[in-house]
Amino acid sequence: MKLTDNEKRDVIKYLEAGKPLPEKYRFLLFEDDREVELLWNGKTNEVTNVVLPFQVIEQIDEPRSDARFGNQNSLFDTSGRQITGWTNKLIWGDNKLILSSLNNGPLRKEIEAQGGLKLIYIDPPFDVGADFSMDIKIGDGEDEESFTKKPSVIEEIAYRDTWGKGADSFIAMIYERLKLMYDLLTNDGSIYVHCDWRVNSYMRLVLDEIFGKDNLRNTIAWLYSGGGIPQNEMPKKYDTIFWYTKSDKWTYNAQYRPYSEGTVERGRTAIKGEDAKLREQGTPINDWWPDVKKITSPTDYEKLDYPTQKSEELLERVIKLSSNPGDLVADFFAGSGTTLAVAEKLGRKWIGSDLGKFGIHTSRKRLIGVQRELKKSGKDFRAFEILNVGRYERENFLAVNDDLRAEEKAKQAERKEKEFVKLIISAYKAEPVGSFVNIVGKKRDRLVAVGPINTPVSSKLIQDIVAECKEKGITKIDVLGFDYEMGLDFQEYREQGVDIAFRIIPREVFDKKAVEKGQVKFYDVAFIEARPCFAKATQGKQTELSIQLTDFSVFYNQDDSGEVWSDWIDYWAVDYDFASRKEIIKVIENGEEKEVWTGDYIFDNEWQSFRTKKNRNLELTSAAKEMTKGTYKVAVKVVDIFGNDTTKIIGVKI
């Protein structure tokens, strides 16, 4: 460090005044070999290292043929169900928390045991100002209608955090996540980052800083057609895909495309000599991809009406280029699940995550469809499980000024949380109360608890609320939340000695006039009515059990919209013996890994019926299963057309 006396006095003067140092002192005071660096307001090299437990909420393994899989006892049992080995993972939640927990938690060992993470493809939300609403089909046949699904409040907040301050917000979001992805990749791993003209200049600099500019392998241009033609500029008809590797070692499998008609007619390429001969496999691809289709037609068999959906052909090329069968690949902005579906078809293991429940549900149906296709063609496929990041930590509820010091940030967050709770209590026509931990209001003879604005109401929070009610002698309480954690069994909490009601906070709470006029309506969470059906087995003395859905109510249809109750159901599934699989999570205590039972069970998806784009019909009675004598807890899971799930437990005695 070489400072003149004047510079030293200047530094002291700035520090005493509590002012930031001019930019030139960053290079004079600190060693930094970087010649070029991307800077933005609030940039920090800090990366979260939080470790949250992954909770398995559903296991999905389509029934297999004994004859086809009976000889694979090391991986499958005699019924063909997978009993050991890697299970693919579809994770719901904030991918920053997911990546941090994968990096630093017990699951890291499991990933390393599979050879590590070899390939990541991501397609982050680079379209600032985009409307992520989508049309959802309701019902079937001639009565089919469309309903517009808007992003949930939690999804909107996540998008606001990404683009609230324009490029600064986006870069800050993607920078930390890319650093976490870098740490998770194997040394010979690759990452493909998909973007377009809006952010590709920023993305290149961020990737150069994290992965090193020498590790840029290709800047791929994905060309497409369609859309309008602007009057004052040329049409923008390509996306950019950056391919980086973690080191100077990587997997590369050359890919080919067919020769042009002219080349085939000539029987040789334009190159002179022996190299002009045509290859049987075609011509090697370069970083210019005009031949890979984009999903544009509304009749395309792949089209799921999901925003930003990419074609399977694109992901097939990426996965084949930079991974081998059996390798582990990941997509942490999974959306409709294209990466995961293609990985399954190509025999790769996979991890996927998304913040939206609808994205997770769309992927679930798609992946079950892939399992069915592979089974039909006699090919292997793996089970997958749906997880969430358990025990969501209550973070800052509303946007906090990033320029403030930590202590001031905490004060501002606390103040804004109080403002948020005050708003909800007012809209609910309740009175505020104090002296409680989780309870914030009272409406007539019922107390009121309010969930966070930017994360779902978790099982942990509900357990804390019930415990506080019991401790304080409270018998009636309403829990209000924008969203609820996947896989919750609301009936379980209602049977713990407290009259507890769960309600949805509507978007209208942010409409000041609607609140003042008392026009905001809070709706009950969905409920299921189902009954067991018994029949004598065709052979032997066992009893066959099936489940019939008889009613379903969700807050969208509580206004007597005229739709049939079953029209709001997109998917439902049955676990005939819910209490047979305890949910065990791995935690690290005092530096040691240990397994802990959460007190919950894993939903083992043994049968399901769901609507697809081609087939809108839904069965309302499950297949029958032979059951031995005993008492069972049968779990019925229903997912509505927007991806929200509800679970009901039915006691059955055979």
Q: What angle do CA 168, 170, 171 make, to 5 degrees?
A: 65
Q: Is residue 37 part of a domain?
A: no
- Residues 80 and 162 occupy one common structural domain: yes
pLDDT higher than 90, residue 644:
no
Q: What angle do CA 295, 300, 302 make, to 5 degrees?
A: 75
pLDDT higher than 60, residue 454:
yes
Confidence of residue 436 (pLDDT cuts 50, 70, 90): very high
- Residues 589 and 622 occupy one common structural domain: yes
| pLDDT tens digit sequence for 94-105 | 899 999 999 999
pLDDT higher than 80, residue 239:
yes
Please state the separation of Cα 408 from the chain's center in Å.
Answer: 32
What's the CA gap between 440 and 397, in Å, rounded?
Answer: 16
Model pLDDT, residue 507: 73
- Residues 126 and 236 occupy one common structural domain: yes
Confidence of residue 117 (pLDDT cuts 50, 70, 90): very high
3-state helix, strand, coil in the chain (%, to 5): 30, 30, 40
Give the three-class secondary structure for 577: coil
**Would you say the pTM of this structure is higher than 0.75?**
yes
Determine phi and psi for 286, rounding to 5 degrees.
-115, -160
Model pLDDT, residue 540: 66
- DSSP tag of 310: P
- Residues 513 and 565 occupy one common structural domain: no
Confidence of residue 80 (pLDDT cuts 50, 70, 90): very low
Provide the domain limits for residue 296: 54-251+292-389
- Residues 72 and 154 occupy one common structural domain: yes
Percent residues over pLDDT 70 in the chain: 80
Alpha carbon separation from 194 to 121, 308, 319, 355 (Å, rounded): 8, 11, 14, 18
- Residues 535 and 646 occupy one common structural domain: yes
Q: Is residue 276 part of a domain?
A: no
- Residues 605 and 581 occupy one common structural domain: yes
pLDDT higher than 50, residue 112:
yes
Nearest to 571 by CA among 473, 650, 517, 638: 638
| pLDDT tens digit sequence for 437-453 | 999 999 999 999 999 87
CATH of the domain at 605: 2.60.40
Nearest to 606 by CA among 626, 586, 629: 626
Please state the separation of Cα 28 from the chain's center in Å.
Answer: 44
| pLDDT tens digit sequence for 539-591 | 666 889 999 999 998 765 555 555 688 988 999 999 999 999 998 887 777 87
Model pLDDT, residue 492: 85
Please state the separation of Cα 649 from the chain's center in Å.
Answer: 26
Domain termination residue (choose one: 468, 496, 524): 524
CB 642 within 8 A of CB 136: yes
Q: Is residue 502 part of a domain?
A: yes
Confidence of residue 495 (pLDDT cuts 50, 70, 90): confident
Residue 520 CB partners (closer than 8 Å, separation 6+): 427, 428, 506, 508, 509, 511, 514
CATH of the domain at 518: 3.40.1350
Model pLDDT, residue 70: 34
Torsion sign over Cα 326, 330, 336, 338: negative
Q: What angle do CA 527, 529, 534 make, to 5 degrees?
A: 150
- DSSP tag of 619: -
pLDDT higher than 80, residue 198:
yes
Q: How many domains does the chain have?
A: 3
| pLDDT tens digit sequence for 370-426 | 999 998 888 888 999 999 885 443 333 344 455 556 667 677 777 888 888 999 999
- Residues 174 and 159 occupy one common structural domain: yes
| pLDDT tens digit sequence for 333-371 | 999 999 999 999 999 999 999 988 888 999 999 999 999
Q: Is residue 14 part of a domain?
A: no
Confidence of residue 187 (pLDDT cuts 50, 70, 90): very high
